Amino acid sequence: MEDLGSDVDNAEHDEEFFSDIVSCLERYSEGDMSALEDIELDLEGTPPFFRAAWDACRTIPPGETRSYRWLAAEAGSPQAMRAAGQAMARNRFSLIIPCHRVISSDGGLGGYGGGGLGVKARLLQMELDRATSEGVP
């Protein structure tokens, strides 16, 4: 709460406010790979390129990956691979905007601020295993 500073000065405590999001996260952890798609985000004030990159990232199916080059193109700036990387690095919703599905063009994992490369690798493997077990290529 301290990190939020003045953003919470007029906030009201509502224990039920995030109950739908918690439910989606629980469904995802139990194997429902589409559960996170049900979470709506308020991205007001987000730079347009970041928003476009985050929206594109959310279209990557579970168990699949795309490159930063693909992400930049989908966000409308095909040459902006570094900016696509910055958008992923500044993503504060790392499961909901599944930046773990974005990798380098050479197949390397790239970076991952949502817990490090080990977490990124485990998330990708978990999704691939679940997608494969469900018959999704």
Instruction: List, by residue number, the catalytic residues.
Output: 99
Beta bridge partners of residue 66, listed in sequence order: 102
DSSP symbols for 64-122: --EEHHHHHHHTT-TT-HHHHHHHHHT-S-TTTS-GGGEE-TTS-----TTT-HHHHHH
**Alpha-carbon torsion (123, 118, 20, 87), positive or negative:** negative
3-state class (DSSP) for residue 97? coil
Which helix (H) or strand (E) segment holds residue 67: the answer is strand 66-67
Q: ∠34-36-41 over CA atoms, to 5°?
A: 140
